[in-house]
Structure 1
Amino acid sequence: MSDIQAKIQQERQEARKVCELKGDGSAECAAAWDAVEELQAEASHQRDKEVEKTSLEQYCDDNPEAAECRVYDN
């Protein structure tokens, strides 16, 4: 996870440089900040994956046919 955070910091610095050179309203500046946003979104998705399952979810993964784990479509 720290690897992606380092990449985000690097991209932020690059975006700031691009915006200083090309101007805040330039397409290059917008694209640079879009790259930062994409990395932040990926970091968020990785954090979401790290969330541990509840004991019921773990039980249902091991015992999908148990009554507690059945899912009915209405």
Structure 2
Amino acid sequence: MQTTLEVVQAAVNAHQNGVKTLDQAIKEAINEARTTCDRNGDNSPNCAVAWEIVEELQAEKAHQQQAKKRKTDLESYCEQHPEAVECLIYDV
């Protein structure tokens, strides 16, 4: 069985490579956690690990959303208008 870190990292890598979205990975992890808990019982270690994977994926999604929101107005403007004088960077 893969460790929690390996499963979460694989889902994040798949998201970054465009294979599937983080939302899809979260939905799959929720379904897997429900199946695992039904099969092994709600108090089993496998059930706890399955839900921990769901929590880690949700935390990664929240982290990525926070990272997107940290841009300043100038950064947003420069993404849309990289040729603008305000956005040019010179090495001196």
Normalising by structure 1, report the TM-score: 0.69
Shift of 1:10: 0.2
How do 1:1-20 residues align onto structure 2 when only pairs under 5 Å count?
Answer: 3-20=21-38
Shift of 1:22: 0.2
Structure 2: stretches of 5+ with no match in the other structure: 1-14, 76-86, 88-92
Shift of 1:52: 4.5
Which of 48, 55, 59 does residue 37 from structure 1 map onto? 55
Amino acid at match of 2:63: H
Amino acid at match of 2:50: A
- 2 CA distance for matches of 1:12 and 1:49? 24
Identity of aligned residues (%): 40
Match of 2:46 in 1: 28
- 2 CA distance for matches of 1:39 and 1:21? 22
How do 1:36-55 residues align onto structure 2 when only pairs under 5 Å count?
Answer: 36-55=54-73
Amino acid at match of 2:48: A
Structure 1: stretches of 5+ with no match in the other structure: 63-74
The structure having more radius of gyration, on CA atoms, is: 1
Shift of 1:5: 0.5
| Other structure's SS at 1:11 match | helix
| Other structure's SS at 2:52 match | helix
| Other structure's SS at 1:36 match | helix
